[in-house]
Structure 1
Amino acid sequence: MSSPKIILYTNRMCPWAHRAHIALKEIGLEYEEVTIDLTTPREPWFLEINPRGLVPTISYDGTIITESGIVTQFLADAHQTHLLPPSSPIENALYRARLNFFVDAFFSKVLPSLFASIRAADETERDAAAQQLIAAVVKEIEPLLADTDGKGPFFGGSEKLTLAEVQSGSFLLRILTFAKPEHGLVSAKLLTLLEQAPRFKRWAEATIAQESVNFIYDEKLVADKMRAKFAPAAKV
Structure 2
Amino acid sequence: MEYQYCETDPFKRPTHLLEANPRGMVPAIREGDWASGESAVILEYLEDRDRDATHKVPLLPTDPRLKANCRLWIDHINAKIVPSYFNLLRATDRTNQSEGIDRLQIEIRALVQAADERGPYFLGADVCLVDIHFAPFVLRLPRMLSQHRHWSDPIPGTRWHMWIEALERNPHIMATTSSSELYLETFDLFMNSRLANGES
Same fold (TM over 0.5): yes
List alignment gaps of at least 5 residues for structure 2: 196-200
The one-letter code matched in structure 1 to 2:123 is: G
Q: CA deviation at 1:30?
A: 0.8
- Structure-to-structure mapping, 1:153-192, within 5 angstroms: 153-157=120-124, 159-180=125-146, 183-184=147-148, 186-188=149-151, 190-191=152-153
1:84 paired residue number: 59
CA distance in 1, matches of 2:98, 2:20: 42
1:210 to 170, 177, 189: 170
Report which of the two has the higher share of strand: 1
Note if 1:39 corresponds to 2:11: yes
CA distance in 1, matches of 2:173, 2:139: 8
List alignment gaps of at least 5 residues for structure 1: 1-28
1:75 paired residue number: 46
2:187 to 197, 207, 226: 226
Q: CA deviation at 1:171?
A: 1.0
CA distance in 2, matches of 1:53, 1:120: 24
The one-letter code matched in structure 2 to 1:212 is: H
The one-letter code matched in structure 2 to 1:72 is: L
1:21 paired residue number: none
CA distance in 2, matches of 1:143, 1:79: 30
CA distance in 2, matches of 1:86, 1:116: 32
Q: Contact 2:143 / 2:180 at 8 angstroms: preserved in 1? A: yes
CA distance in 2, matches of 1:36, 1:135: 31
Q: Which has the higher contact order (CA 8 A, sep 6+)?
A: 1
- Structure-to-structure mapping, 1:105-124, within 5 angstroms: 105-124=76-95
Q: Contact 1:141 / 1:200 at 8 angstroms: preserved in 2? A: no
What is the root-mean-square deviation in Å for CA atoms of aligned residues? 3.0
Q: CA deviation at 1:162?
A: 1.3
Aligned length: 189
